[in-house]
A and B are shown apart, each in its own frame.
Chain A
C-alpha cells in the first residue's frame, strides 16, 4: 500500500546540535515530496519541496532535505538547531495529483 512513514515520533536535541528527521515513502514512481512544520496552535507552513533535479534542496529557516531514490527517503536536516525550531514536522507526498498524503509527524523538542 502507498504510504509515508516517519519512524521517529519524538526527538529531543540540544540547542546548537544538528538535526535529522527521517521520512520514507512507498510509491511506484518518484512523487513530489514536501516537508511542513507546525508550531503549537498554528497551521502548517511549507519548509521545502522536491520535484526533480538536484537531490539536495534548500528550504526556509536553514533547513535542507536530501532525496535518495534508492532508499525511497527524503530526510530533513539542519546543521544547528535553534530553540524556535521546536515544533511538529510532517513529511508529505503528492502522488501526481491523485493524492496528497502526510506522514504521522515527528515532534521536535529543543533543550536549552
Chain B
C-alpha cells in the first residue's frame, strides 16, 4: 500500500517561477518528513526536512509547508532555476525505526 501519496508526477515550470509539489500521508506514527532530490544517474540526496511540530521550514529557495491536521506537506521551490531540474521525492519516517517510506516522485523540469 502507498502510505505516502505524491503529486504531480511531473511538472514543468518556467525559470523564475514557483514549483510546488504536494504529499499526503496516512500513518500518524510518522514523525519526520524529509525531501530528497535526485539528478539523472545519481542516488537521491537529502534536500530539506521537517518535523511535525513546526508548520514551515525554509532553507534558501526551498520551503516545506506542513499541515499536521490534514496530514499533508508540500515543497515550494521559489525562483526555480534550470539547475533545479531533477526528480523530487517526499518521504516519511518513523524515527525510532529509521525506515523511510518514499512517495512516487515528481520529475521537475525548469525551462529557460
Q: Do A and B bind each other?
A: no
- Chain B interfacial positions (CB closer than 8 Å to A): none
